[in-house]
Every structure is written in structure tokens, then in C-alpha cells.
Structure 1
Amino acid sequence: MIAAMESHYLHGYETDRLRRKYRRQENKPSGRKRRRSTSPRRSAKRTSRDHDKYHRSKRSKSPREVDSEGHLKFKIGDCIGGKYEIVDNLGEGTFGKVVQCIKRGHKTPVAVKIVKGIDRYTDAAKIEVKILQKLRDHDPYDESGCIHMLDWFEHHRHICIVFQLMGLSVYDHMKQSGYKPFNVEAVRAISYQLLRATRFMHDMKLTHTDLKPENMLFKYKLLPSSEPHDGQEADISLIDFGSATFEHEHHSGTVSTRHYRAPEVILEHQWSHACDLWSIGCIMFELLTGVTMFQTHSNFEHLCMMQHILGPIPKCLLEGSKKLKYFNESSLVNLDWSSSEGQYIINNCKPLRYYQRDYSTELQQIFNLMEGLLQYDPKERLTCSQALRHPFFDHYILKKRNSPH
């Protein structure tokens, strides 16, 4: 956006400079005269058309409409899309901003995602809109657990997507509560909702590829000091389908946010629905402990942490990988454990069962479920349907059946 604006103004400056140059040439007493157009009418028409195009471009890229990062500038009370009045700014991210609006003639508030007017974000938003439309077509009554798009429109070259107003994301709720772990009942309820929504997508041959607490919104507002325990309070909706991929589409080489990235993606193998299940296993661990399972920013360190927490990576997963430089002959990551990097992993990463505080049936079940979701080999990893039938959820399913809601 900024580059385009600079190019536009430089073009205007260059045009003025050339005009002054031609005037000087015309005023010279001698020398070769500038060739004039043989068609004054066509020349005038072209000049008028270029002038109009110049000013249209200037209006569409006016710095008054966007800030230095490409966000749409607005103030409370502004109307977007001709029918949505902005009443509050809910936050912003790399993609754009989210505002609370009231639709004219309605009282129920909605959330509007205003995407940056930059080509790469606009293109991603258009893809997301198409996916949201397909999700809505398959889920007309909004029962899947995937965010329900109410409307979308374009405002000053910014794609705007309208959703039902939700509560905080799971991540923001954890942050506000000081990253306090959820109790087992809450982990059970949230995990079930997450698996159910993911199964709906997978049944549509769609992989989310970016499951994480930031992309899970509570449907109801909760106080920072409270936590969902059962029933409707734990209902969540999945959001952000900008990188979701259908089976028949091109699969990018790298997907998922680093901390929730599956080993097959790191090792540059083909990936499918199973990478979502790995992410869910990491999310469950985070809900239960309050800490991120793989707090790292490099492939090498990530693989070291995996082996320290989950055990050696099987040789079958290393075949054909471009990351063999990380491993020795015994298929272990070749790390100097006496180094600062090695000591950090030893001090901060423990075997998975180390985090099991006691041997109650509930904790035995939840760790067994996480182990099934965190299998290195995607073929051995639990599917959504298999995970939803795990005994860990029996109590929750029975409770839901007997609930009056």
C-alpha cells in the first residue's frame, strides 16, 4: 500500500517535471521543435482520461483512509458497508481489525472483521469468505462449532466479514487469568467441542491447518477469574479459515503456527487431516498445564523437544525427509545436551507423563488420549471420530444428553 502511494506521488512529480521541461524547449528561440500530435481531439481525450485515472487512483489510495500498516481508519459512529455502525474497537492483528457494530434496524450487536487493504491479505480474505460460505451451506443451523458468517462486503477496498459477537478467545482468557490451567472438567468440555468442530471440517475434506487457542472463541463472555466447567459455558467456535485447505487443493509446504506444528510438516512430508489432530493434542496439554508444550522457534530445537517429551522419532518417519542432517544413525536428534540449548530443554521439557499429577481415572484417561493424538506417525494418530469415542468423554456426553439445554 505504502509503495503504491509513493509510486503514485512520484509519478505526479515526474509529470510536472516533464511539463516544465517541454515548456522550456518550446520557449527556446532555436532548436528542434517538439512533435505535436496529429490528432488534437484524440490527444485531448487521452489527456482527460489520464487525468481522471490519476485522480481516481489518488482517491482510492488516499492516506486518510488507511494508517501506515494498511488498517482502515475509522472512528466510533462511522458506518461501513452502508448499514453497519461501528460502536467499539475489539482489537487488531496482522490481518486487520475487529470492530463491534450494530446493523441498522437491528439491536443485536455483531463483530465485523475488517481486513487490511493489502493484496496478500485481501486475496486470503476472499479465499476465507468462500470457505465460510461452504461451511455455512453445510451447517445452516450453526451447530458445527465453526464460526458462522452472517454477511460480507467490501468497504473502500477492504474485505469486511460479519460474525455473531462472541466472547474472548481461549488464549486471551488464559492470558487474563495469568495462564492458570483449566480444571479437568473444563478441559474435557473444550476438547470435545474442538474435536467435534474439527470432525465437521474433516468430513467436508477440509483441513484447518492452524488450530490454536487464539483461534478458539468462547461463545459466551466469561470473567477473567471464572472458567467454563460444563454445558453452554464451554461452547467454543473455531475461527480463521484463511489457511484452511481442501483435499484436492495445493498443500503448502509449511502450515500451522510453530508451537502446534506436526512432525510430518517439520520433516517436510505430505500432510493431511492428521496434522489438525496433533495440534489438538498440543492444545489439550496447554489447557491442562497452562504452559505451551513446545515453546520454540527453530525446527532443530522443536524436534529435540519432541524426543525429550514423547520419545524417539521412528525411523519410518525419517525416510525421504530433507531434515536428516538433524539426526544420527540411531535416529535421535544429534544435540549436545551439555550446551545451553540442551540444558534449556532438559530443564524445561519433561516426559509427557511427568505432568500427570496423580493416578486418578480422569487424568489417566486424558493423558492416554493425548498420547493417541501425539503419535509421530500420522497413520497411527487418532482420528476425530476415534478421539470423540474415547472414555475420557463418556461423562461429558452423558451430561449433555441429560441437560435441559
Structure 2
Amino acid sequence: MFEDDYLDRPPSSSSPAGSQLLEQPHHQPFMLKDAATQKYLLYGRYLMIRQLGKGTYSKVVLAKDLLASSSSRGDGIGDVVAIKIFRGQRNYDDAFDDECSILEAISSSHSVASTTTKVFADERQRCNSADEETLDDGLLVGSMSFSKILAAVKHRVHRAIIFPALGMSLLDILQHRKAYFRHRKDEDPPSPFAQQRQTTDSSAPYEKFRKGGLPLFVVRSIGYQLFAFLHYIQSKGVVHTDLKPENILLAQKKILMSRPLGPLPVTSSIKVIDFGSAEFTASFKNQTSSGTRISYNTIQTRHYRAPEVVFGSGWSYPADVWSVGLILWELLKGDCVFMTHDDKEHLAMMQRFLGSPSRADGGFFSIFRRGDKTEEFVSRRHHSSGTLRWPTEETSSRDLKYLNAIVPLCREFKDHSSDDEFCDFVSLIGKVLEWDPNRRLTAADALSHPFFASS
């Protein structure tokens, strides 16, 4: 548990027989340790299994709910729950209260999310007969795509939120697939398209995918759910601000092992988690000339950070759309596009992948004119719209080699121009990864894109 708070304090000498008592400040117990099993019991009903992860404000543990039967809930993994335990200090109360407020707001009505159910009937034809029945359920998307709260616990200065346990994250499934294909060196690495071969050989219905990425029909299903999720939370005035593969979990734990496709989720139904950084746009104190409320604080995990956040020019709903675009490309290709921890290099990678902002739109200086870092990152030396101040004298040949290895999106389109389905996907990615957040597709518009058209 936390290294610097009460959870690691020595047990009380007055512990009851058979248990070891860990105390909060003011001697208020909330966790018992069973002497026989050496496992912790939280709040008298949750038997801790293991730690799942940690963050700035909290840690998450997996636990068994001893008072709930596996048949009493219709989601997650029966009677197993995930408990987000906030640091036991009063200055972390705001983080708990903010997350509860966000979850309460988006859980108050599911009308938008529940009406976006969609079946991609054409995808069933892509599955061979052995996998078809199992994969069908994963093609139903648009149900409530975020993890609901089961309980919020206030125990003196200690706080916790309890959620249903879910399956592995999208990052986990990508890593699982990479490991699988690394150990199958006798077979060709898969291609990202998972298209049916033009062949009469029914034993080889698929092309392979590259680097452990997911088949396009799975990416389509997940993408539709993510945009439906964004459309829904935006209707509640919420920006998630930290969308990434780690924060998107499969709704079910089971994984299907298919020889031609490799390990795949039994269902592509997903749940978005971790609203600890989410914000209400109503709380933003600034707004654009068009009346859009914006914020200037730094958000998002680096690799999924929108350019307006990097430049410091103000962000709102489009920042989440940018993150989803990068997530979908990563799901198909198997690798994160922008692996860097430097702002200037990050922008150079965006430019390599997407091209420069249009001069007709005024380039960098017009789009990001409000940015407090625009002058630092962009030079007017060559033309008025600006050029990035990268590479620098400190830039290594290795960094340049990594940058040049990024395949531009326009080349992806050109190289596969005969594949209408893939071209629709590239078109979608290009429109949700617009430099200018005002020109970026909204979540609602993305749902109507031809890539999601049911055939």
C-alpha cells in the first residue's frame, strides 16, 4: 500500500485474536489482516487479492466481495471488485470528491449511450466458422462504455471508490498479442488489415497482421464505442483528459485463442476507467471568441497529448478526440505513434505523421496564436506561418532515425489506395487528428463517418 501513510504503520498491540489490525489516524480501523490466510479484509466485506496499479492520488486493488454472489451482478467478473483507495490525507479529499462528482454526473442518465447500439453485420463474414459464434457478441457496441461505481466509501480521512472488476486493458491485449506472435516465428507476422484473402482455401481466410495489432473489424467496434462514449460525456459537459490504452478495459475477462488471428477478446465491448483527471467544462474560466470554454492547464499522458495542449493554447472537448484517434491507430498497428518525452520532438513527430498545418489556415502561428509556448517551439524565419525549431544541435542521429521511421499518414493512404475499407479508416484518423482543434471532427461527426457505415 502507500509507503508514507497509515496503511504501512505497525499493527496495533491491541489487535483482536486471529486478526492483525491496521489503524487510521485517531485509531479508526478499516482493514483487518487474517492471521491464517495473511490476506486483508477491507470494510468488513472485501477480501484483498492483489494490487492492480497506482497513481498520484490513489492505488487500485482487486478484491473479492464476500457479501455479493457471482450471479447478483450482470457485468464485470462476478463478485470480484476493483477498489480505488485514495491516500489517507485530507488534502486528497478534493480528488475523491471531484471523481465522485464526475461519475455521478455521467451516471445520472444513459439515454445517449444506450441509443447508439450498432451491429457491424459485415464483420461476421470475416470470422471463420470456428470463431463466428464467439465473436458475434463483440460486434454490439454503444452500451454504457464506462465503468459504473458500486460504492463510495468515506471513512474518517480515508476515501475509496468501488467498481466492478473488468478484463484486461487494451494495452495488455496488444502486449499479449506481440508476445504470442514473437513465439510463432514459423509464421509470417500479421498485417494490420485482417482482410479476407481472395482464395478458395478456407483454411487461410485472413492476411496476417503486423506487430500484434488488432484486426480492423475489432478496431472498428472499439472505435465506435469510444466515440459514442465521448459524445455521451460531452453531453454532460465532461472532458476525460487521460484517454489511453491503459484506461480502456475489456468488459469481459475471457480471451479467445484463434490460430489465424492470434489471441483476441471474446467480446470487443469496452469500459473506460479512471476519471480522476476528468473536468467539467463549466469550471473553465476562459473562452474563445466563439464562446467555447477552454482551459490552459497541462493534461493527458504525453504520447496521447493534443497539439493545443503542447503549445499551451487552450483545450476543450477536441483534446479527447485527438487521443482516441491515436489510440485507434495504435490498436491497428500495434505500436504507439509518438514515443517521446520532449515537446519539440513530439511536435516534429506530429508533423512527420500528419504534415504541416495548412498555410491557407495560417500555419502554426495562426492556429496556436494563444499558446504560451508557440514562440519557443516555432520560428518565423522561413515563412510567416512558422517552422518548428527542431531538430536542434542537441538532436541525436538516433532521434532523427526514429522520426524518419514514422510512416506519414498520406503514404499509408497511397500505399493501400485499392482497399476502400482501410482508406476509410485512414480518412477518419486524418480528420480526428487535425492540427486545428476547431477543424477536428467532433465525436458525433465521427460516428457518422463512412468507416462506421454498416454494410
Cα distance between partner residues in 2 of 1:127 and 1:133: 10
Structure 1 residue aligned with 2:450: 391
Map 1:331-350; keep pairs closer than 5 Å: 331-336=386-391, 339-340=395-396, 343-350=400-407
Q: How many residues align?
A: 337
TM-score norm. by structure 2 comes to 0.67
Structure 1 residue aligned with 2:207: none
- Structure 2 unaligned blocks of 5 or more: 10-21, 71-77, 115-142, 179-210, 285-294, 358-362
Structure 2 residue aligned with 1:78: 40
Task: Give identity over the alignment, percent.
Answer: 28
Structure 1 residue aligned with 2:275: 241
**2:276 counterpart letter in structure 1:** G
Q: Of 317, 333, 352, which aligns to 1:308?
A: 352
Please say if 1:125 is aligned against 2:96.
yes
Higher strand content, 1 or 2: 2
Distance 1:73 1:278, change over 3 A: farther
Structure 2 residue aligned with 1:288: 332
Structure 2 residue aligned with 1:40: none
- Structure 1 unaligned blocks of 5 or more: 9-57, 399-405
Cα distance between partner residues in 2 of 1:121 and 1:238: 23
Name the SS for the 1:177 alignment partner. Answer: helix
Map 1:5-404; keep pairs closer than 5 Å: 59-61=23-25, 77-82=39-44, 84-86=45-47, 88-89=49-50, 91-94=52-55, 95-107=58-70, 108-119=78-89, 121-139=92-110, 143-155=143-155, 157-178=157-178, 180-223=212-255, 225-228=262-265, 233-250=267-284, 251=295, 253-313=297-357, 314=363, 315-323=365-373, 324-329=375-380, 330=383, 331-336=386-391, 339-340=395-396, 343-356=400-413, 358-359=416-417, 360-395=419-454
**1:242 counterpart letter in structure 2:** G
CA shift for structure 1 position 61: 4.3
Name the SS for the 1:92 alignment partner. Answer: strand
Cα distance between partner residues in 2 of 1:348 and 1:115: 42
The structure having more radius of gyration, on CA atoms, is: 1
Instruction: Say which is worse superposed, 360-369 or 119-128, in terms of deviation.
Output: 119-128
Higher helix content, 1 or 2: 1
Whether the aligned pair in 1 keeps the contact of 2:170 and 2:245 (CA below 8 Å) is yes
Whether the aligned pair in 2 keeps the contact of 1:76 and 1:88 (CA below 8 Å) is no
Distance 1:175 1:304, change over 3 A: same
CA distances 1:113-171 after superposition (whole Å, capped 9, x unpaired): 23242445543122111211222212399843121111121357442222222111111
Cα distance between partner residues in 1 of 2:337 and 2:68: 47
Whether the aligned pair in 2 keeps the contact of 1:110 and 1:162 (CA below 8 Å) is no
Distance 1:337 1:85, change over 3 A: closer
Instruction: Say which is worse superposed, 303-312 or 151-160, in terms of deviation.
Output: 151-160
Name the SS for the 2:431 alignment partner. Answer: helix
4+ residue stretches of structure 1 with deviation over 4 A?
1-5, 71-77
Structure 1 residue aligned with 2:191: none
Cα distance between partner residues in 2 of 1:345 and 1:109: 46
CA shift for structure 1 position 62: 9.4
**1:154 counterpart letter in structure 2:** K
Cα distance between partner residues in 2 of 1:99 and 1:279: 27
TM-score norm. by structure 1 comes to 0.75
Instruction: Say which is worse superposed, 270-279 or 115-124, in terms of deviation.
Output: 115-124
Instruction: Say which is worse superposed, 309-318 or 344-353, in terms of deviation.
Output: 344-353
CA shift for structure 1 position 85: 2.8
CA shift for structure 1 position 227: 1.5
Distance 1:270 1:104, change over 3 A: same
